[in-house]
Amino acid sequence: MKFNIINECKKTGARTGEIITDNGVIKTPFFMPVGTYGTVKTQSSKEIENLPSSILLSNTYHLYLRPGMEIMHSAGGLHNFMSWNGAILTDSGGYQIYSLKEHREIDDEGVTFKSHYDGSMHRFSPEKIIDIQRIIGSDLMMVLDVCPPGDCSIEEWESAVTLTTKWAQQSYEHYKSTKPLYSHSQSMIPIIQGGTNLELRTKSAKELLELNVDNYAIGGLAVGETKEKMIKTIELMNELIPRRKSRYLMGVGTPIDLIECVKRGIDMFDCVIPTRNARNSQIFTSNGKINIRNSKYKNDHSVIDPDSNSYFSQKYTKAYLHHLFRMNEILGLRISTSHNLQFYIDLMKTINDKINNNTFYSWCEDFIEKYNSRNNK
């Protein structure tokens, strides 16, 4: 995998680039649809490809439990299993494991946990997470990390940073000593932790930068901290991570968050907001967010969003989508999910275009002002 910078905004930290994988070239900055279980809910692989999206995210923890690695290996990896031709990034499952609370036990060498499906016991080590992702065949592999809640004590964060560094070092050594199982190469991404404590973030970043890999992730944000603290943390990361390295901000993803973080040098995003909110009737449009269940859309025969590139958004009306949600029809979830993903993909394409033609700074200030005013009506 290789990361190249194409253009940089002269007034902000925003930049465009490309991540080159054996399964395609991904233009940065980009947003990854979340396909936790090997599927983006309600969408086929072809529909995700047609957005267009050249990468999606899945989850090591969930795929390990179901369908399991025996089936995944016999399928020839996740690309074959889900008929996906683009790139795949797999999260390590560290966040999911940590959230199990009383059902997991962390020690210096890994974590023992109880499956939330059937109560069976399992053991993850940094090395095993790499082995599992070799079987999955993801293009970009996240290391096992420790991700405590945002309100934990400073002692917990110190321990998390120490253990995350140790595990990243073990992961990297194992990564170098093993090879991909399929016909494409794989890259490993360490995760910088430390919450909003800038000293711990600095410590984590400096230790992990010694690995000198091409990509670095910023974890442990969007877990209840204020926007101001999140932004300060990202600004510090922009200063510490060398410009030639790509930066992946994990789990952050309102439209305004994307723009504010691109301004501060972030290249990669993922978040469940567009898909989860879609299933709960919240639609992102060029005129702001709407709740399609609202009665005012019952007899609104205008299209969902005249400015959207989504086929569904041009084909169907707000009244029809309102009706589908009221009747709990699956098509309503498909339309809303497709529309929201298209909104996010289009937003990232616009951001790319604005950076490349050197109008990003003025555009983003105008977009944020208009978007906020529409949502505050």
Active-site annotation, residues: 91, 270
Helices vs. strands in the chain: H and E counts, helices first: 15, 17
Bond preceding residue 274 cis, omega within 30 of 0: no
185 C-beta neighbours (distance < 10 Å), count: 12
Q: Which residues pair with 289 in a beta bridge?
A: 284
Q: Estimate the crossing angle of helix 255-262 against helix 360-375, to 10 degrees.
A: 160
Element (H, E) at 18: strand 15-21
Q: Which residues pair with 16 in a beta bridge?
A: 7
CB under 8 Å, gap of 24 or more: what pairs does 197-204 form?
197/154, 197/157, 198/232, 198/233, 198/236, 200/154, 200/157, 200/158, 200/161, 201/233, 201/236, 201/237, 201/240, 202/236, 202/240, 203/161, 204/161, 204/164, 204/165
Pairwise CA distance, residues 73 & 236, whole Å: 40
SS3 at position 201? helix
Task: Give the amino acid at 350.
Answer: T
- B/e letters for 316-325, b = 16+ CB within 10 Å, e = fewer, are bebebbbebb
Q: Find the length of the chain.
A: 377
How far from the centroid of its chain's Cα atoms is residue 377's Cα? Answer: 30
Pairwise CA distance, residues 217 & 140, whole Å: 11
**Strand 30-32, strand 110-114: pairing:** unpaired
The DSSP annotation for 119-165 comes to --EEEE-HHHHHHHHHHHT-SEEEPP-----TT--HHHHHHHHHHHH
SS3 at position 26? strand
